[in-house]
Structure 1
Amino acid sequence: MRSFGMEEELLVDARSGLPRAVAGAVLAAADRHDWQPGRHERGHRMEKELQREKLECATRPVTRTGELQEAIRHWCREAARHAETAGAMVAAIAAAPLPVRPLLNAGRRYAWMGEQFGLTAQEQLTRGCHVHVAVESDEEAVAFLGRIRPWLSVPTAISANSPYWQGENRGYASYRSRVWNGWPCAGPVDVFGSADHCHEQVAAMVGPGVLRDRGMIYFDARPAAVHPTVEIRVTDPCPDSTAPVLPAALTPGLVETAARAWRDGRPPDRVGTSLLRPASWRAGRSGLDGPPPHPRTMRETSPRQAVGALHRHVREARVDHGADDPVREGIASLERHANGASTRRRLLRDEGGPARMVTPCAELTTDGENTSGQAKTPLPGDDTHDRAERTV
């Protein structure tokens, strides 16, 4: 199985539940206390993001979903430990449930983005869960991207975990996905056909000055700007460290299935972007509570059929590598417990308000380890980081 890794952008939350602009202090604490030489080179990292209220944690490349789960747990705990020194907690919440006016990080690039995009940049206090899968070349990456397009709405629906934003229930399972698509460079795109054509189109998008650089190409799936990977960017993070494993486990199978189709000379499905955009919207609107378009026909179907279709699509590649068990187990768990949006709504009902919902989410993020010293909440049923700036 191809190696893969994850980037989770974690909201840094204060004990009150309000976001705190302390990412710089958390990174400084990590550097000061125990950032061991060579750790970054082995593939781990924590970095700043567009706003000071966010912190990105990235795992090293792995080949097994169990390893990924352990890496996620490790970095959530590391982030929480250093956040404690700044009087904060971390919670893997896809969109801030409480009202907040986020502060942009220092740096020319972030300042440019704030001036260029105004309210759109201010609204982007959201966190995505990005999965990277190894590729051998740009040509291979672009061939994969053309073949996975129709399937990407299903991982969005599976991971949907952000019904609350700025203190209100917005009526979406993943409001993060709607806010994120406010960027002019985000969402589904057409089939490029070749790496040269992809690079030409990206250059044309950057050329008019709307985008600062290619790092601002926020396609649902893109060739990564730094690593030899394809980066799938459609999922919400989830406080429960076991939950991201299902979309992450499906993604390498999706890429490998696309690789086999490319090697066999089978062309990509030419479903139009005009159909993919409504499919993406429906996944964000309803998650697994509504009728999503079937990824093959784009016609309305049940969530069970959509998830089942994706599993069948990738199953051969995963079985061949002895890696299908986590997917089957994840789907079974999903059917028993629903997705994150349902859990967030239940927490709001049981805990009594968005502010009280944040602490249980922080507990889940660190597997119940409360580094802030608070009582555990019972749960129901800068320029030194320029490379991070370039890949926001």
Structure 2
Amino acid sequence: MRRFSSAANLFKQTKLYDFHVKNGGKMVDFAGWDMPVSYSNLGALASHNWTRQKASVWTGKDHVKFLESLVVADLVNLPVGSSTLSVFTNENGGIIDDTVINKESEDAFYVVSNAGCADKDLAHIREQLAIFKKNGGDVNVDVLDHVSLVAIQGPSAAKVVEGLAKTNLDKFAFMTAKKLELAGIPCYVSRCGYTGEDGFEISVPHEKVVELTETLLSHPDVELAGLGARDSLRLEAGLCLYGHDLNEEITPVEGALTWTIGQRRRKEGGFLGAEKILPQIKGGVSKRRIGLIVEGAPAREHTEIYADGKKIGEITSGCPSPTLKKNIAMGYVQNGFHKSGTELQVKVRNKMQKAVVTKMPFVPANYHRV
């Protein structure tokens, strides 16, 4: 289902589009999709309902080898039922997209990518798949275009999902996934999210997504929240937004995502761009992603960063933090200016303001550990 905006731009729509509009969603273009930035009831920052699409299942005797050729994670040693955040890289070491990969079984991986990058991701995967198969590889990639993804985030998320699943979730750890029936609806549920809070991302058949969402909202602790709240929460959590904080010109090391590169992969390589990325781990990089606390007005994307009157970088994300009551930002600076406590300046409306390099996350995470 699609619509034309007033500007005659064609945006894709999720299966919750009519639901969003019905519930007062202010719809905006988000990476080519019609998505709610906010709702008329203002929502609640602690509870998120955010939809994105595009998931795939990878099978075949060489599925591990093929997927590891595209991402930096150690998938051989990933336990069944566990998930990992990783990145697709290109030949130059840049990040094509970030992704969550779950080892559904010894024979299959469940991969979720960003809807805004779906077309690009699939084109890249299919190109590499054709080469892999031509060389004798055995792997199948099935795109799950019949499911939607609904996220519920916040301290009450577990209580809400437990009630629908009618089972205790204490042993359901952060970054693991399993099949559950929620209010009688078969779902694939991952305990993860992009807010720094405990929560779940729920894959649900398109025809059941509105029913499930309305069931979630029937709980008194659940409110709708749009992309505006999601953005401030993920920034407080120090998490990147692709297309802003990450892109195809930035490597995982420059993006402070070295931790996503498995130890075995650091020794063996075998993924696209490894020849550029791996030397950076020991040899360093020319720029680094940092967090900043900014005095004065908020420093938004593309705000210039200075040290002693010299431009040394640029803001990629920034907003007032509702939790800290301070202005926070994320950006890239020249190597050497990245250490916590370093005093810098940002140029906002042609006025220099003080900014201090700060460790991320800005707000401690509340992930469920077992």
TM-score, with length taken from structure 2: 0.27
Based on CA coordinates, which of the two structures has the bigger radius of gyration? 2
Higher strand share: 2
Higher-RCO chain (CA-CA 8 Å, sequence separation at least 6): 1
Give the TM-score normalised by structure 1: 0.26
